[in-house]
């Protein structure tokens, strides 16, 4: 499907235009299908409508701006073109149907996710991709899905600079990501934002938060930036992720006293916390395939008023993005009632976790379908608490 043109523009004083341009380009927010323009002593930069939250970074850089509708005229020859259009005549016609319709871009790095039948043509596809995304600095070919404890992928550099670390902007924060050695999925941006605002609205203050599989910090950093009295404990077994989280604390001007981070196994952290009689008001368990194995220990660390956010994988048992008023028994019954054939079987981490949560007497506050995980399967966030309501 052709990329839709944005409609919004950022308007700044001419004196701030150069700095604004550099920042927007660095952040990859400029909509290149339209041209900047001058208007009554001010300058308008076309921006990606889906990234408006990220533009708040300009204020932190001391630039005052307004977001306006339209104004910027369409840009050059590649406007509205799809990757498949650029590849016509470049790759065998029978393979054109396999050309991807969306891009996975982290900062200035593209991860090319293509059918193995196209792997030999990866350099040609990379060249065409660069025409549509001229500010890329590197393109990696994805060789595997997420593997190992660190949930990383095997990638092969097919074009550009041999540096897998890039700055990605998400929900108004800047994140250093190592695309080869740390987990990061830009498709989780909306979920990161949703959970942060859910926690912000819980109304517990002061509150302690445990982000047990924190990665490079896409929950912890925006939580630490909230104007609330929150104490955040971030844990990940991958030392590279924790190193980058530490740098992301600096990069976003987070008060380091608000966030502690540890590179260690979640089980060891929970054992230490339990021995020290520490409890948490919010516990985030974002390790969808395995987090049911950590559920029981995490529940013991949950404060009486606390909320636990358990991520798991399941077929679509809710039929909608957000559901309330479901009981754990009801959720299990819905899953079992689904008419699934052998290929679509219910993943056992999900049913095991639900059975355990029932035994532990937990209540379901909310169920959120986060994103597609695999054919017929979705990542879900199941919000649990000790008491109803
Ligand atoms: C699915 S990623 C989620 C990262 C982050 N929460 C996000 O949203 O981007 C899961 C993370 O769990 C970490 N992990 C896996 N097993 C772990 C364990 N036993 N203890 C602590 N962290 C672990 C991995 O290194 C990875 O960074």
Under a CB-based contact definition with an 8 Å cutoff, are residues 37 and 44 in contact?
yes
Q: Which of 80-89, 153-162, 280-289, 344-353 has the lowest mean pLDDT?
A: 344-353
Domain covering 83-163 assigned CATH 3.30.565.10 in the classification: no
d(CA 381, CA 244): 25
- Mean pLDDT across 216-220: 98
**pLDDT of 35 strictly over 90:** no
Q: Which residues of 293-332 are buried (b: 16+ CB within 10 A; e: fewer)?
A: bbbebbbebbbeebbbbbbbbbbebbeeeebeebebeebb
- Mean pLDDT across 13-36: 85
- Ligand 1 centroid, distance to 262 Cα (angstroms): 12
Rounded to 5 degrees, what angle do the CA atoms 22, 27, 29 make?
Answer: 95
**pLDDT of 55 strictly over 70:** yes
Best residue among 177, 178, 183, 217 to mutate for probing ligand 1's pocket (most ligand atoms within 8 Å of CB) is 183
d(CA 216, CA 106): 13
Best residue among 176, 287, 380 to mutate for probing ligand 1's pocket (most ligand atoms within 8 Å of CB) is 287
Domain covering 8-69 assigned CATH 3.30.70.2580 in the classification: yes
Q: pLDDT per residue over 71-86, tens digit each? A: 787 666 666 788 998 8
Ligand 1 touching residue 244 (CB < 6 A)? no
Ligand 1 touching residue 286 (CB < 6 A)? yes
Non-local (6+) Cβ contacts of 138 within 8 A are 108, 109, 110, 157, 159, 160, 161, 162, 163, 164, 166
Ligand 1 touching residue 177 (CB < 6 A)? no
Look-up of token digits 């049911």: 292
Q: How confident is the model at residue 2 (pLDDT cuts 50, 70, 90)?
A: very low
Q: pLDDT per residue over 306-337, tens digit each? A: 999 999 999 999 989 999 989 988 888 888 88
Phi/psi at 335 (5° precision):
-60, -45
Tokens of 37: 């323009």
What integer pLDDT is reported at residue 1 of this predicted model? 29
d(CA 33, CA 5): 7
- Ligand 1 centroid, distance to 116 Cα (angstroms): 28
Q: pLDDT per residue over 251-280, tens digit each? A: 999 999 999 999 999 999 999 999 999 999
- Mean pLDDT across 134-162: 95
**pLDDT of 285 strictly over 70:** yes
**pLDDT of 100 strictly over 70:** yes
- Reduced to 3 states, what is the DSSP secondary structure of residue 118? helix
- What percentage of residues in the chain have a pLDDT greater than 90? 70
Q: Which CATH class is domain 182-385?
A: alpha beta
Report the predicted TM-score, pTM, of the whole model to 2 decimal places: 0.82
d(CA 203, CA 228): 10
- What percentage of residues in the chain have a pLDDT greater than 70? 94
Ligand 1 touching residue 309 (CB < 6 A)? no
Under a CB-based contact definition with an 8 Å cutoff, are residues 49 and 77 in contact?
no
Q: pLDDT per residue over 168-211, tens digit each? A: 999 999 999 999 999 999 999 999 999 999 999 998 889 999 99
Q: How confident is the model at residue 4 (pLDDT cuts 50, 70, 90)?
A: very low
- Ligand 1 centroid, distance to 179 Cα (angstroms): 14
- Reduced to 3 states, what is the DSSP secondary structure of residue 46? strand
Under a CB-based contact definition with an 8 Å cutoff, are residues 145 and 193 in contact?
no
Going by the DSSP 8-state scheme, the letter that residue 117 receives in this structure is G
Domain boundaries, the chain: 8-69, 83-163, 182-385
Q: Which of 14-28, 91-105, 137-151, 214-228 has the lowest mean pLDDT?
A: 14-28
Ligand 1 touching residue 369 (CB < 6 A)? no
- Ligand 1 centroid, distance to 361 Cα (angstroms): 26
Q: pLDDT per residue over 113-124, tens digit each? A: 999 999 999 999
- Reduced to 3 states, what is the DSSP secondary structure of residue 239? helix
Look-up of token digits 């957000």: 322
- Mean pLDDT across 367-377: 91
**Closest ligand 1 atom, residue 150 Cα:** 25
CB half-sphere exposure, 237, CA atoms < 13 A: 11
**Closest ligand 1 atom, residue 188 Cα:** 8
Residue 97, classified by CB atoms within 10 Å of its CB into exposed (0-12), middle (13-18) or buried (19+), is exposed
| Chain mean pLDDT for the chain | 91
Q: Which of 4-13, 134-143, 339-348 has the lowest mean pLDDT?
A: 339-348
Under a CB-based contact definition with an 8 Å cutoff, are residues 181 and 150 in contact?
yes
- Ligand 1 centroid, distance to 186 Cα (angstroms): 15
């Amino acid at each position: 499907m052709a990329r839709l043109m944005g409609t919004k523009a950022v308007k700044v004083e001419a004196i701030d235009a150069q700095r604004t341009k550099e920042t927007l380009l660095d952040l990859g927010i400029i909509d290149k299908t339209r041209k900047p323009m001058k208007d009554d002593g001010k300058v308008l930069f076309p921006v990606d409508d889906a990234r408006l939250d990220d533009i708040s970074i300009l204020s932190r850089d001391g630039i005052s701006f307004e977001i306006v509708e339209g104004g910027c005229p369409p840009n050059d020859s590649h406007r509205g073109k799809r990757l498949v259009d650029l590849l016509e005549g470049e790759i065998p016609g029978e393979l054109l149907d396999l050309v991807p319709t969306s891009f996975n871009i982290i900062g200035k790095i593209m991860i090319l996710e293509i059918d193995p039948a196209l792997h030999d043509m990866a350099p040609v596809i990379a060249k065409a991709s660069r025409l549509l995304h001229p500010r890329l600095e590197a393109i990696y070919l994805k060789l595997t899905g997420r593997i190992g404890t660190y949930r990383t992928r095997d990638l092969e550099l097919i074009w550009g600079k041999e540096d897998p670390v890039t700055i990605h902007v998400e929900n108004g924060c800047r994140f250093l990501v190592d695309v080869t050695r740390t987990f990061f999925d830009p498709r989780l941006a909306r979920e990161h934002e949703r959970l942060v605002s859910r926690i912000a609205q819980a109304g517990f203050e002061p509150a302690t938060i445990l982000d047990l599989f924190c990665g490079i910090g896409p929950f912890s950093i925006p939580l630490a930036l909230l104007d609330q009295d929150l104490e955040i404990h971030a844990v990940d077994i991958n030392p590279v992720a924790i190193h980058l989280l530490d740098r992301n604390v600096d990069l976003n001007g987070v008060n380091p006293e608000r966030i502690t981070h540890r590179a260690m196994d979640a089980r060891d952290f929970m054992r230490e916390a339990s021995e020290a009689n520490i409890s948490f008001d919010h516990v985030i368990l974002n390790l969808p395939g395995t987090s049911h194995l950590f559920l029981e220990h995490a529940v013991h660390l949950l404060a009486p008023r606390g909320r636990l956010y358990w991520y798991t994988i399941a077929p679509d048992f809710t039929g909608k993005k957000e559901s309330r008023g479901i009981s754990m028994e009801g959720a299990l019954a819905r899953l079992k009632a689904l008419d699934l054939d052998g290929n679509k079987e219910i993943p056992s981490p999900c049913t095991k976790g639900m059975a355990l949560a029932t035994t532990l007497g937990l209540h379901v506050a909310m169920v959120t379908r986060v994103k597609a995980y695999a054919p017929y399967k979705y990542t879900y966030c199941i919000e649990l608490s000790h008491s109803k309501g």
